[in-house]
Amino acid sequence: MLKKIKKDKKELMRAIKDEVVALKKSPLYKYRIENKNLPVIGQGSHDAKVMFIGEAPGKNEAQTGFPFCGASGKILDELLAYIGMDREKVYITNIVKDRPPLNRDPSPEEIKIYGPFLDRQIEIIEPKIIVGLGRYSMEYIMRKFGLESKLEPISKLHGQVFETTLPYGKVKIIILYHPAVAVYNSHTKNMLKKDFELLKKL
């Protein structure tokens, strides 16, 4: 039975990948093909209790097809190691699955096109804790889970825990600063470390 569920999850994830690969209606599709980039679907365990959601792939990610494998990924790895969390045991993804040109912020249209794939990933993985990294992820997650009335600047919301109930049970939501803010700033890195300690407690 367990094997079957695992197989189903794999197939559902594979379907998402196939659809994103063929997503010609995306404004980012042409850029991906022209630059021989790859879409970045996600990485980690399909049974993860904790799911990290970033914004969109950067250059390294689009070249390898893996999320958070560049400078921000190094910080994320450090933070995971800091609380003894295994990268293979969590699931890491982004709202937008293709790299925006020159790493610009994702547009509302792009978030609208790629958001449903993220929604499906949440339904497949059924995480108990969802961690939003950065303000785009914060806005998407808070709105998706009916928490828009609690939206505030990320400087206020980071490190707070919200709760929502999904069809599979209660889910905790935590918003954290995007690891990119800590690449050149040890103050924000310390703030992120403190917020990760909270994640460890949960």
Residues that bind ligand URA (CB under 6 A): 40, 54-58, 61, 67-68, 72, 94
Smaller CB separation from ligand URA, 68 or 177:
68
Tokens standing for residue 22: 């063929």
Closest among 64, 136, 129, 61 to 99, alpha carbons compared? 61
Residue nearest to ligand URA (CB): 54
Greatest Cα pair distance in the chain: 48
Is the Cβ of residue 176 or residue 191 nearer to ligand URA in the bound state? 176
**What is the closest distance, in whole angstroms, from the C-beta atom of residue 176 to ligand URA in the complex?**
12
Taking the CA atoms of 139, 145, 147 and 148 in sequence, report the sign of the dihedral they define: positive
Q: Shortest Cβ distance from residue 159 to ligand URA (Å)?
A: 19
Instruction: Output the smallest distance, CB 158 to ligand URA, in A.
Output: 15
Minimal distance in Å, beta carbon 69 to ligand URA?
A: 7
Closer to ligand URA at the Cβ: 61 or 139? 61
Q: Of 125, 180, 168, 118, which Cα lies nearest the Cα of 143? A: 118
Nearer to ligand URA, 39 or 57 (CB): 57
Written as one string, the DSSP assignment of 93-127 is EESS-SPPGGGPPPPHHHHHHHHHHHHHHHHHH--
Q: How far apart are the C-alpha atoms of 43 and 41, rounded to whole Å?
A: 7
